[in-house]
Amino acid sequence: MDKKALLKLDNGIEVELPILSGTAGPGVLSVKDLYKTTGLFTYDPGFVSTASCSSSITFIDGNEGILKYRGFDVNHLAENYDFTSVIHLLLYGTLPTPEQHKEFLLKTHKVSEQVVNVIKAFPNSAHPMSILIACFASLAASYHEQYGNNVNSQDLNFGISAILQVPVIVAMIYRHINDQEFINADSESSYSGKFLKMMFNSSEKIHLFTKALDKIFTLHADHEQNASTASVRLSGSAGSNLFASLAAGVTALWGPAHGGANEAVINMLKELEQSGNVDQFVIKAKDDKDPFKLMGFGHRVYKNYDPRARILKDTCHEILGKSAQNNKLLEIAVKLEEIALKDEYFIERKLYPNVDFYSGIIMTAMGIPSRMFTPIFALARTTGWVAQWYEMVRDKETKIYRPRQLYTGE
């Protein structure tokens, strides 16, 4: 029997609101008919208490520190499967058979000359995210006739094309901003191996860092209805094609409060390096009156340890052991981690190092510059965006997003 909540208004009107239950997590109070019934909207800045859709892709329990893709614990996936398997899981709902896995690895997709020209048109000093946005916008134009607003929701070729092209594009962006020639993909390598080859053309880096990068990709592949995913769904709800919607996702991800957080971590570590006094900055972070904040600590959703950080913490120290770099930033990061994990102030407030903290350190140890962190995040998250876009297209309850407002003007 469906549960309902009784809402009593001051004017004497009583409204019964259905309580909907999912397969896990808190139920939701359905207010979709509230305005029609009462003439009232709900007010929820930041949508912190609003479920905008139903989804079967990702489940998060922030209090317990749980993250699952299609019912599989993300730590189990990161430890036991490569990113190609995770792509298949998010798109199709099942892990691939050996034949399906091999078939996907052999897929290649060269980007068009049009996209290459878009990349080359930007100055070397441009932020890579601005170039990535332009590339997706260019692809939206190229694919609009073939895959317009009425794309067959069962045809995943469009989405697979995006997932295969984005590592090529991001690698090209890296090579361009470093004034280097582009490198073709190696069809025999893993997804992460291909990307590292196109980035660095180094067999040593592929050997050392493929598994670590696989874990970073897996742990960043999807994260429920975050700002960038909501942006993809919002754009898609208006009938925009996938690449146009992906451009919206990249735009949202660029923000330092979202995908730019790991870049902000490295910028903070550089600031600490210049000061030469980590302890003093920890004191500043604990002072509520001081605007300084430690980047990469705590998480809006997780009120426990970020489950993704557990895997990357171990990976981080493993990579630091392999890295030949004598990097002062990495030394500061390790010291900061030690302080935060022991200090009662951080423990009581559950301000543990999060996934952005460790991923930034790992990529720094790999020799990846900080301004490439967010594009690599976008590379991983493209799979989640694609899965979410297709789910939205298939959902019969999807309507064009139209939030309302509390008007306070003249």
One DSSP character per residue, 124-157 reads TTS-HHHHHHHHHHHHHHHHTTTS-TT--TT-TH
* 113 sits in which H/E element: helix 113-121
214 is catalytic: no
The 3 state secondary structure assigned to 49-108 is: CCCCCCCCCEEEECCCCEEEECCEEHHHHHHHCCHHHHHHHHHHCCCCCHHHHHHHHCCC
279 is catalytic: no
| DSSP label of 397 | T
Cα 295 from Cα 329, distance rounded (Å): 14
Cα 194 from Cα 187, distance rounded (Å): 7
Cα 305 from Cα 64, distance rounded (Å): 8
**Cβ 228 vs Cβ 259: under 8 Å:** yes
Catalytic-role residue among 214, 222, 306, 356: 356
408 three-class SS:
coil
**Cβ 327 vs Cβ 368: under 8 Å:** no
Region label for 182, one of left (φ > 0), alpha (ψ between -120 and 50) or beta (otherwise): beta
In angstroms, how far is CA 401 from the centroid of its own chain?
21
Catalytic-role residue among 88, 220, 299, 306: 299
**Cβ 310 vs Cβ 255: under 8 Å:** no
The position carrying tokens 């030690």 is: 338
Which residues are the active-site residues?
299, 356
